[in-house]
Chain A
Amino acid sequence: MAPVLEVSGLSTVFHTRRGLVRAVQDVSFSVNAGETLAIVGESGCGKTITALSLMQLIPRPPGEIVSGSVKVDGTDLLKLSEPEMRKMRGGKIAMIFQEPMTALNPLMTVGKQITEMVMLHDKLPKSAARTRAVEMLHHVRIPEPERRAKEYPHQMSGGMRQRAMIAMALACKPKVLVADEPTTALDVTIQAQILDLIGDLQREFGTAVVLITHDLGVVAETANRVVVMYAGRKVEEASVTDLFANPLHPYPRGLLGSIPRVGSARGLDVSPDERLREISGMVPALNDLPPGCAFAPRCSQADARCHAQVPPFEMKQNDHFAACWQA
Chain B
Amino acid sequence: MLSYLIRRLLLMIVTLFGVSIAIFLLLRIVPGNIADILFDSAGLIDPAEKKKIIADLGLDLPLPMQYWQWLNGLLHGDLGFSYVSEKPVIDEILPRIPITARLAGLAMTFAIAAGVPLGVISAVRQNSKLDYALRVLSLSGLSMPAFWLGLLILMACVRWFGTIPIYDRAPETFGAWLAMLAIPAAAVGFRSSALIMRLTRSSMLEVLRQDFVRTAKSKGLSDTAVTYDHALRNALLPVITTIGVETAFLLGGLIVTETVFNIPGVARFLVEAIRWRDYPMVQNLVMFIAVVVVTVNLIVDLLYMLVDPRIRYSE
Interface residues in chain A, defined as those with a beta carbon under 8 Å from any beta carbon in chain B: 55, 57, 86-91, 94-95, 97, 99, 102-108, 116-117, 120-121, 152, 154-155, 165, 168
Given known A104-B212, A105-B212, A108-B230, contact A117–B220 (CB-CB < 8 A): yes
4 additional contacts (CB under 8 A) given A90-B218, A90-B221, A105-B215: A95-B218, A103-B211, A152-B313, A154-B309
In the complex, residue of chain A having the shortest beta-carbon distance to the beta carbon of B214: A57
B220 contacts A87, CB within 8 Å? yes
Q: Complex formed: what's the CA distance from A97 to B217 in Å?
A: 12
Are A94 and B218 within 8 A (Cβ)? yes
Determine how close the nearest CB of chain A comes to the CB of B127; give it in whole angstroms: 10
Q: Give the interface size bracket for B toward A.
A: 20 to 34
Instruction: Tell me the minimal C-beta distance from A53 to chain B in angstroms.
Output: 13
Question: Which residues of B sit under 8 angstroms from A95, Cβ to Cβ?
Answer: 218
Task: Contacts A105-B212, A107-B233 given; indicate if A116 touches B221 (C-beta within 8 A).
Answer: yes
Report B's interface with A, CB cutoff 8 A.
210-212, 214-222, 225, 229-230, 233-234, 307-310, 313
Residues in chain A near residue B215, CB distance under 8 A: 97, 103-105, 165, 168
A–B complex contacts, Cβ < 8 Å, 24 sampled: A55-B218, A57-B218, A86-B220, A88-B220, A90-B219, A91-B220, A97-B214, A97-B215, A102-B210, A102-B211, A102-B212, A103-B211, A103-B214, A105-B216, A105-B230, A105-B234, A107-B308, A116-B219, A116-B221, A152-B309, A152-B313, A154-B309, A168-B215, A168-B219
Select which of B217, B219, B225, B310 is within 8 A of A106 by beta carbon. B310
Also in contact, A89 and B217, with CB within 8 A (given A107-B234, A154-B310): yes
Query: Least Cβ distance of B304 to chain A in Å?
Result: 12
Nearest neighbor of B221 in chain A, beta-carbon distance: A120
Q: How far is the CA of A88 from the CA of B221 in the complex (A)?
A: 11
User: Across chains A and B, which 4 residue pairs bring their CB atoms closest together, nearest first?
Assistant: A90-B220, A89-B220, A102-B211, A90-B219
Given known contacts A102-B212, A108-B230, A86 and B218 CB-to-CB distance under 8 angstroms: no
Query: Are A86 and B310 in contact, with the CB atoms below 8 A?
Result: no
Q: What residues of B have a CB within 8 angstroms of the CB of A154 in the complex? A: 309-310, 313
